[in-house]
Amino acid sequence: MSGVTVIAHISDLHVTGDPARRARIRAVIDHVNDRAAGIDVMVVTGDITDDGTPAQCAEAAEIIGAARVPTLVIPGNHDRRPEFSRALLDGAATDLPLNRSAVVGGVLYLMCDSTIPGRDDGWLSDGSLEWMESQIATVGADTPVVVCFHHPPATLQMPFMDGIRQIGEDRLAEVIGRHPNVVGSLCGHAHSGAVTAFAGLPLVVAPGVSATLKLPFEGEGIVDTTQPAGIAFHHLDGFRLITHFRVVV
């Protein structure tokens, strides 16, 4: 790989059919499109719809389809696999994990489905972890790997979200630890831009597009709809991940 890869990272769009929500999401896509010449790929880490209905999935596909950069998506706990697969992955309806991989600009992106149908917390199945391992082995040790999923596999000092995070994370950490070419993990779910470490590497949580969730000292309630939508821009310089956060007013 030569040069620096730029990744636009958004999450938690929660398409509802509401015109105001649609305008908010479109503003984020427009923000990316206006800078498309400098962006290599956009990853969307789940909760693309609010209820996973066919109508919401169709609207989400239309909005995301307007992006002028290669776009990779995974479901979140608010999405539903069969409808998501049909509308957003151009695949047959399935209840199986919607794992996908892509090599863009010399970087392997593992889009891992951490959802558990009918539940809000997350889990990567043994089959998904085996799939990850095989995908990394296929590209070889010289290819940088970015791992993406919806649920953070670590606590974020957000009591509500920490209660529905990704469980069984030690298994994921073991897989990542076996492959030095993994540069870090990207996720969503928390509706709060955050950076921590997982498996000794960066774990970056994208800000929420639809709304922001409050930290414990930020006042009553959990959801703050007064905050603007957010986006993360990741620069991958060789095997070093650099993240910048922006708001979209």
Residue 137: DSSP 8-state = H
Listed in sequence order, the DSSP H helices in 71-166 are: 81-88, 126-139, 159-162
Among 40, 36, 58, CA closest to 48: 58
* Domains: count for the chain: 1
Count Cα atoms within 13 angstroms, Cβ side, for 74: 32
* 60 has pLDDT over 70: yes
As to burial, measured by CB atoms within 10 angstroms (0-12 exposed, 13-18 middle, 19+ buried), residue 83 is buried
* 3 has pLDDT over 90: no
Listed in sequence order, the DSSP H helices in the chain are: 19-33, 54-64, 81-88, 126-139, 159-162, 169-177
Q: Can you give the pLDDT at residue 139?
A: 96
- pLDDT digits 0-9 by tens, 133-188: 999 999 999 999 999 999 999 999 999 999 999 999 999 999 999 999 999 999 99
- pLDDT digits 0-9 by tens, 233-249: 999 999 999 999 999 98
Average pLDDT, the chain: 97
In whole angstroms, give the CA distance from residue 152 to residue 196. 10
Q: Name the residue range of residue 9's domain.
A: 4-248
- pLDDT digits 0-9 by tens, 15-32: 999 999 999 999 999 999
**84: domain CATH number?**
3.60.21.10
Distance of CA 43 to CAs 61, 202, 215, 225, Å?
A: 14, 16, 25, 23
Q: Can you give the pLDDT at residue 102?
A: 98
Under the banding of pLDDT at 50, 70 and 90, the label for residue 1 is: very low
The mean per-residue pLDDT over the stretch 29-55 comes to 98
- pLDDT digits 0-9 by tens, 95-109: 999 999 999 999 999
Q: Can you give the pLDDT at residue 91?
A: 85
Q: Can you give the pLDDT at residue 20?
A: 96
The encoded tokens of residue 132 equal 């990850």
- pLDDT digits 0-9 by tens, 201-219: 999 999 999 999 999 999 9
